Amino acid sequence: MENKIETIERLVAWLKDYAVKNDRRSFVVGVSGGIDSALVSTLCAMTGLQTHCVILPCHSRESGILLARRHIRWLGDKFGFDSVVYNHTIYLNETFNVFEGATLPYYGINNLAYANVKSRLRMLTLYHIATLKDGLVVGTGNKVEDFGIGFFTKYGDGGVDISPIADFTKTEVRELAKELGIIEEIIKAVPTDGLWDDQRSDEQAIGATYEQLEWAMNYIEAHPSWENKMVAHTPEQLKVLKIYKTRHAVAQHKLNPIPTFKR
């Protein structure tokens, strides 16, 4: 990666330029207490445009909510509350409960389906705020999530207007966060999407760490016919390669443009 300061300056300029060209006066970011949303909200605030930081608990872990609040407080102290940084907390517990109660008798329990509902409720809320504030919903997905394994909800956290860190790995996100002085506890926090009742981490849900997935992504890009070559991989490496390949394959409906019939 190029000089971190130069990268940050380019990202900030890119965000501001896009907003100005599209006649938008604010950014709207869902802040989870994780490193990706912390970095993205900081970059947005650095533009000097209104940055609406939105915490959206939906039967969420309290530790994540507290970290999100700490980050927004840090951001507000640094850039100014109610001038650049705006703080919103909207609880979606009851909204989710109503939806679950209305659908559960007909379709039964499906944990993945209801995890996706939580993500889509958050998207609806962010876009509602963006409409009210002439804003852009800013994505917080990184390269491995967005273009590697498709670890996002279609029309949930994948429903955004602009995606500043989608070409950065988790490792690079951490480096940029350190450069900006983001709270160390957030940088070191175990990544989680907060969508599951058992509060599993991203790595538990995926079956591999982000560092392992970064290695697999780079390796497969450099060796596209790796399965046909007699290369000595450890059992753990083979496991990670297969996880990456499988998830990348099944996520194509998310990663590719919507098919349209041409007359």
Is residue 9 in a domain?
yes
CA distance 202 to 208: 9
Give the residue ranges of DSSP H helices in the chain: 4-21, 35-46, 62-79, 93-107, 111-132, 143, 170-180, 184-188, 202-206, 210-222, 235-250, 252-255
Q: What pLDDT does 147 receive?
A: 85
Are the C-beta atoms of 41 and 137 separated by less than 8 Å?
A: no
Is residue 212 in a domain?
no
By the 10 Å C-beta count (0-12 exposed, 13-18 middle, 19+ buried), 206 is classed as: buried
Tokens of 69: 């609040």
Is residue 47 in a domain?
yes
75: domain CATH number is 3.40.50.620
Q: By three-state DSSP, how is residue 164 classified?
A: coil
The neighbouring-strand residues paired with 137 are 28
Q: Which residue segment(s) compose the domain that 100 sits in?
A: 4-202
Q: What number of CA atoms fall less than 13 Å from residue 145's CA on the CB side?
A: 25
Higher pLDDT, 191 or 85: 85
Predicted TM-score (pTM) above 0.85: yes
Is residue 247 in a domain?
no
Residue 111's pLDDT band (boundaries 50, 70, 90)?
A: confident
Q: What pLDDT does 232 receive?
A: 56
Is residue 209 in a domain?
no
Query: In the chain, how many domains are there?
Result: 1
CA distance 63 to 188: 13
Are the C-beta atoms of 21 and 47 separated by less than 8 Å?
A: no
User: Could you write out the DSSP letters of every residue in 51-76?
Assistant: EEEEE--SS--HHHHHHHHHHHHHHH
Is residue 20 in a domain?
yes
By the 10 Å C-beta count (0-12 exposed, 13-18 middle, 19+ buried), 182 is classed as: buried
Is residue 172 in a domain?
yes
What is the percent of the chain with per-residue pLDDT over 90, rounded to a whole number?
79
Task: Of 173-177, 215-219, 225-229, give the lowest mean pLDDT range.
Answer: 225-229
Is residue 218 in a domain?
no
